[in-house]
Chains A and B, each alone.
Chain A
Amino acid sequence: MSTPARRRLMRDFKRLQEDPPTGVSGAPTDNNIMIWNAVIFGPHDTPFEDGTFKLTIEFTEEYPNKAPTVRFVSKMFHPNVYADGGICLDILQNRWSPTYDVSAILTSIQSLLSDPNPNSPANSMAAQLYKENRREYEKRVRMCVEQSFVD
C-alpha cells in the first residue's frame, strides 16, 4: 500500500539516481523500502580519504516528518559517532526538518567527516585526540579506512 512516507521515499530514491551527489550513494534494500543501505566515501584531503563507509538508514511511516535512524555499519573513529555507529548530528535530532531528503542527509554526514565537532562528543576519546593530538587521531582514522576495505 502506498503511504505518504513510501511515496516520498520513492521520490528520494529517484532524486538520488538522477542527481547523485558526489561521494555518497544509497538505495532501498531489496524487499523493504523503509530500510536503506548507503555508502559514504571518505572526503578528499581528510584522514577519511579513500574509505568506503557503510551505513543503514531506517525510516518509519512518520518520515519525512520525523528523521530516520542513521547508523554507521562500518567501524568509525570520529568525535561525533557513537560506538554503536549512531551519529550525533543536529539535523538528525532536534534540527530535523521534513525538507531534508536522503541526499541531504548523506551529504551532511559526509561533511561531518570533514568537520567534526569535538565540543559535543559522542566518542570522547576521538574528540580529545582530535583537539590535542591530531597525529594520533589521524592514525586511528586511517585504521578505520583500512578496515572499511575489508568489511
Chain B
Amino acid sequence: MEDKEAVPVPVQSDFNPAAFVAGYNREPIYFDEKFVYLVTDINQDELIMQRRREIEKEIWESTSLISEKEDLGSLEAEYITDEVYQSKVKDLLRKYNYIRRTRPDGNCFYRAFAFAYFERLLSHQREYEDFKEIIMKNKTNLMTSGFSTVTLEDFHETFMEVVEILSKGVSAQEELYRVFNDQSYSDYVVVYLRLITSSQLKLNADFYQNFIEGDRTIVEFCHQEVEPMYKESDHIHIIALSSALDVGIRVRYMDRGQSTEAIAHDFPEGSHVRVHLLYRPGHYDILYPIDAD
C-alpha cells in the first residue's frame, strides 16, 4: 500500500489508536506507536475528476466545438426507427436546410448562440454596429454585478477580440470558424455570455425569482447554474441572454411530445428572430432556415 493512499495520524501518549480505530469502525491498514493509516481516505475527488476528464476526452475527440454545416437530411438517418422523431425531422426539413452541430459539453447553448449570431453579423454589418453598442452598455451592468474588475476586464477584452473579427464581414467566415474551435477563445466567449446572463438575472431578480424552483435566491442560482462552465441552460438562461442582448432566438424542440411538429418557442416572446437553434433533450445545435432574411 502506498503512503499517499493513507492518512498518517500522529498519535499522542494519551491517545489509544487501537481503541480509536475500533470505535471508529474503519479498517486500519497499519499502525505503530507513531501513526495510524486509514485505507479509506483515498482522494476521491481526484478519482472522480480523472474519470470525468477521460469521458470529456472521448467526447472531445469525437465532436468539434463547432462543426461544419451539414445537410439537415443527416438527421433523418439518426432516427430511422423512431416514428415520433421522424415526423418531427420531416417537419424541420420543410423549414430548414442545414444544421451545424456543437460539442455536447454543457456550454452548447451559449456556443451555438454565439456562433450563429456572429455568423449572421458577418453579413449584417449595421446590426453588428448596434450589437457592439449593446455590448458596451452591457459592460456597465456587469461592473455593478459584483464581479471582480480584473477578471471582468480579461473576459471583456478577449470577447471583444473575437467580436472585432466580425468587422471584416463575410470574408472572415473561415477565421470565425477557426476561433470558435480554439478551445480558449471559444470558452472565453462562452464565459462572457454566462456573465451577461448572470448579471441580467441579478438586475431583474424580482422578475426571474418566479422561475426558480426551491428556495434558492437569484444570486445563489447564478453562482451554481449560470457562472460555472459546463452547466446546462434552461428557459430562464435563454430568456435572460436574449433580453440582455436584444436578440431574438427561436428554439425548435425535438422531444417525445405527441405533436408531429418540432414546436417553436421564441425568446423573448414576440421578438424578431435572428438565431435558430435545435433543441434535443440536453443539447442545442444550430439550424439554418430555408428563407433566411
Binding site for B on A (CB under 8 A): 3-5, 7-8, 11-12, 14-15, 61-62, 64-66, 77, 82-84, 86, 88, 93-101, 104, 121-126, 128, 136, 139-140, 143
Instruction: Pick the residue among B8, B15, B151, B185 that contacts A83 (CB under 8 A).
Output: B8
8 tightest CB-CB pairs across the interface, nearest first? A97-B227, A65-B187, A82-B43, A4-B184, A83-B7, A15-B150, A86-B43, A98-B191
**Nearest CB of chain A from residue B138's CB, rounded to whole Å:** 16
Residue of A nearest to B185 (CB): A4
Instruction: Tell me which of B34-42, B69-77, B232-240 binds A.
Output: B34-42
**Nearest CB of chain A from residue B288's CB, rounded to whole Å:** 28
B64 on interface, CB distance cutoff 8 Å: no
Q: What residues of B have a CB within 8 angstroms of the CB of A128 in the complex? A: 24
Query: B43, A97: Cβ atoms under 8 Å?
Result: no
**Nearest CB of chain A from residue B50's CB, rounded to whole Å:** 11
B4 on interface, CB distance cutoff 8 Å: yes
Q: What residues of B have a CB within 8 angstroms of the CB of A104 in the complex? A: 148
- 17 extra interchain contacts, Cβ-Cβ under 8 A, other than A7-B154, A99-B195? A15-B148, A62-B184, A64-B154, A82-B43, A82-B46, A88-B45, A96-B229, A97-B227, A98-B151, A99-B227, A122-B41, A122-B44, A124-B26, A125-B20, A126-B7, A136-B12, A143-B10
Query: B150, A77: Cβ atoms under 8 Å?
Result: no
Q: What residues of B have a CB within 8 angstroms of the CB of A99 in the complex? A: 147-148, 151-152, 191, 195, 227
Which B140-172 residues have a C-beta within 8 angstroms of A? 147-148, 150-155, 158
Q: What residues of A have a CB within 8 angstroms of the CB of B6 in the complex? A: 83
Binding site for A on B (CB under 8 A): 3-10, 12, 15, 20, 24, 26, 36, 38, 40-46, 48-49, 147-148, 150-155, 158, 183-185, 187-188, 190-191, 195, 223-224, 227-229
Instruction: Pick the residue among B24, B46, B148, B158 that contacts A4 (CB under 8 A).
Output: B158
Q: For the complex, give the distance between the alpha carbons of A5 and B158 in Å.
A: 11
Instruction: Pick the residue among A5, A64, A121 that contacts B151 (CB under 8 A).
Output: A64
Query: B183, A62: Cβ atoms under 8 Å?
Result: yes
Q: Given that A99-B147, A143-B10 are contacting pairs, would A3 and B227 also be in contact in the complex, using a CB cutoff of 8 Å?
A: no
Q: For the complex, give the distance between the alpha carbons of A45 and B36 in Å.
A: 28
Query: B223, A11: Cβ atoms under 8 Å?
Result: no
**Nearest CB of chain A from residue B150's CB, rounded to whole Å:** 5
Instruction: Pick the residue among B38, B148, B187 that contacts A62 (CB under 8 A).
Output: B187
Q: For the complex, give the distance between the alpha carbons of A120 and B45 in Å.
A: 11
Residue of B nearest to A84 (CB): B4
Query: B184, A123: Cβ atoms under 8 Å?
Result: no
Q: For the complex, give the distance between the alpha carbons of A18 and B90 in Å.
A: 60
Residue of B nearest to A86 (CB): B43
**Nearest CB of chain B from residue A57's CB, rounded to whole Å:** 15
Q: What residues of B have a CB within 8 angstroms of the CB of A83 in the complex? A: 3-8, 41, 43
**Nearest CB of chain B from residue A64's CB, rounded to whole Å:** 7
List 28 A-B pairs, Cβ < 8 Å: A4-B185, A11-B154, A62-B184, A64-B154, A65-B187, A77-B9, A77-B10, A82-B46, A83-B6, A83-B8, A83-B41, A86-B43, A86-B46, A96-B228, A97-B227, A98-B155, A98-B229, A100-B151, A123-B7, A123-B41, A124-B7, A124-B26, A124-B41, A125-B9, A125-B20, A126-B9, A136-B15, A140-B10
Query: B150, A101: Cβ atoms under 8 Å?
Result: yes
